[in-house]
Amino acid sequence: MRTSSVAVSGLSEAPRPSRRSGRVDQLQKQVEKMLRRLRLAVIYGGNKATEGAVINPAPNARSWKSYEVVARDIAAALGRLGCRDVFVMPEDMNLGEQLRDEKIHLAWLNSGGVQGYGSTAHAPAMMEMLGIPYIGHDPLTAALLDNKHVFKRQLKALGIATAPFITWHPAEGAFNPWTHARFQNEFLGWRGDYVVKPVSGRASLNVHFVERVENVAAIAQHVYEVTQNQVLIEGYLPGREYCVAVCGPVVAHGKQLERNDGPFTFAEIERVLEPGESIFTSMDVKPISGARVRQLDDFTDSKVIDRLRELGREVFTALSLDALIRMDVRADADGNLFVLEANPKPDLKAPGEGVSSLICEGLARYDMTYDDLIYSLLADRIDAALSRGRGAPGKLMNLI
Ligand SMILES: Nc1ncnc2c1ncn2[C@@H]1O[C@H](COP(=O)(O)OP(=O)(O)O)[C@@H](O)[C@H]1O
Ligand SMILES: [Mg+2]
């Protein structure tokens, strides 16, 4: 066993550079200075089947993906932005040791976890425990956003529109819509169809459109068998589908930082559904490309754009978020918008030959490149550390 005597390094004794809010030029100089000295690890989802990754392999309540390719895109952008020491590492049981051995100052979390329940929260929880500052949501927020039913309860409490829903688990007994009190209550007067899906999922996997209420039980049982987790039964929204991304106020355009008054909303796009495509086809089956995304028009779609921005800012502010989300939004038959989910780790695939990501397809409207987006997320995080002392910033401060 390796033991270590670790000197207690100060959370608070590190000198804090003086800071006046709004001094974005000063922030830019600080970020650039920091970038040259920063040792940064981009972390992707480790594979439980790899020797030594975990003690015991366990089921995945959330469909697993490594996201390593995207981690490498992020790392490459950070390299182009001037960060000389960028490492790409898997999240697994060796991560703490690797972070220590490579003397990492800051982690960029691009992982949905390795296995088990609440897996998107495992990496941030580990960073909190280790005292490593990170780019990503705190563990509670990561778990909340990745558990659609918990997020939707928050939306309901906040009065933000979301489709009617209940959760079901076989421990309650077989699902019978006619005797299920919560279902009867929530769907009172509902004339539409249904969606049955995992509470924690990704890329439309195991998401089912169900036409008739008598078919819900069998599909719910099937989703349970795949995920071993609660199942979400939701009202189907038959209208158009949109996305909007939201991040913190510090944003780069052409590598120049700007500070907005509030959260920055961008990548307002429509996801193009083909005739008869009730559920947006998984990107695992059909990669995201320009053809699957419609850029919203400033003039003809102005109402939708405004509403998406409003919803984005509302969710970001009400839940006190401080890292990137991409919200999936869908309209009912009358065009009213409802929040489907907020992805805590949206796909950040760099645009390339015939593949892209929903967020990157929507950057052009803001004169932003992929590298600008990566720079924005990094600079906003550093700003939060400098101005609010967010998350163990001690050693980061020493780099300036
Ligand atoms: N209530 C709903 N009404 C209409 N379509 C839905 C609904 N819920 C999910 N979908 C469809 O399924 C897709 C995936 O659902 P979503 O909730 O975004 O989960 P995830 O992206 O994590 O798989 C959505 O992009 C949308 O096309
Ligand atoms: Mg989605």
Instruction: For the chain, give every domain's residue range.
Output: 24-139+389-397, 164-235, 241-378
Per-residue pLDDT, averaged over 350-361, amounts to 83
pLDDT of residue 7: 37
Give the residue, out of 64, 155, 195, with the most ligand 1 atoms within 8 A of its beta carbon, to mutate for a pocket test: 195
Q: Ligand 2 centroid vs 84 CA: distance in angstroms?
A: 34
Q: What is the per-residue pLDDT across 27-79, written as a single tens digit (0 to 9) for each?
A: 999 999 999 999 999 999 999 999 999 999 999 989 899 999 999 999 999 99
Does domain 241-378 correspond to CATH entry 1.10.10.60?
no
Two structure tokens written together for 176: 């019978």
Indicate which residue's Cα is closest to atom 11 of ligand 1: 279
Per-residue pLDDT, averaged over 240-255, amounts to 95
Per-residue pLDDT, averaged over 193-207, amounts to 92
Output the pTM of the full model: 0.91
Element (H, E) at 97: helix 95-101
Quick one: which ligand is closest to 332's CA?
1
Is the pLDDT at 392 greater than 90? The verdict is no
CB 336 within 8 A of CB 242: no
What does the alpha-carbon distance between residue 386 and residue 16 come to, in Å, rounded to a whole number? 7
C-beta 270 within 6 A of ligand 1: no
Q: Ligand 1 centroid vs 38 CA: distance in angstroms?
A: 39
Fill in the amino acid letter for 351. Answer: P
Indicate which residue's Cα is closest to atom 14 of ligand 1: 204
CB 329 within 8 A of CB 241: yes
What does the alpha-carbon distance between residue 124 and residue 115 come to, in Å, rounded to a whole number? 14
Q: Ligand 1 centroid vs 224 CA: distance in angstroms?
A: 17
Domain 164-235 is in which class? alpha beta
pLDDT band, very low/low/confident/very high, at 22 (cuts 50, 70, 90): low
Q: Ligand 1 centroid vs 255 CA: distance in angstroms?
A: 35
Does domain 24-139+389-397 correspond to CATH entry 3.40.50.20?
yes
Say yes or no: do domains 24-139+389-397 and 241-378 share a fold. Answer: no
Q: What is the per-residue pLDDT across 281-323, written as a single tens digit (0 to 9) for each?
A: 777 777 777 778 888 999 999 999 999 999 999 999 999 999 9
Burial class (CB in 10 A: 0-12, 13-18, 19+), 365: middle
Q: What is the per-residue pLDDT across 73-99, written as a single tens digit (0 to 9) for each?
A: 999 999 999 999 999 999 999 999 999
Beta partners for residue 195, in sequence order: 209, 234
Three-state secondary structure call for residue 242? strand
C-beta 370 within 6 A of ligand 1: no
Quick one: which ligand is closest to 281's CA?
1
Q: Ligand 1 centroid vs 114 CA: distance in angstroms?
A: 23
Burial class (CB in 10 A: 0-12, 13-18, 19+), 159: exposed
Nearest by Cα to 244 from 189, 313, 326: 326
**β-strands 106-109, 39-45: how paired?**
parallel
C-beta 341 within 6 A of ligand 1: yes
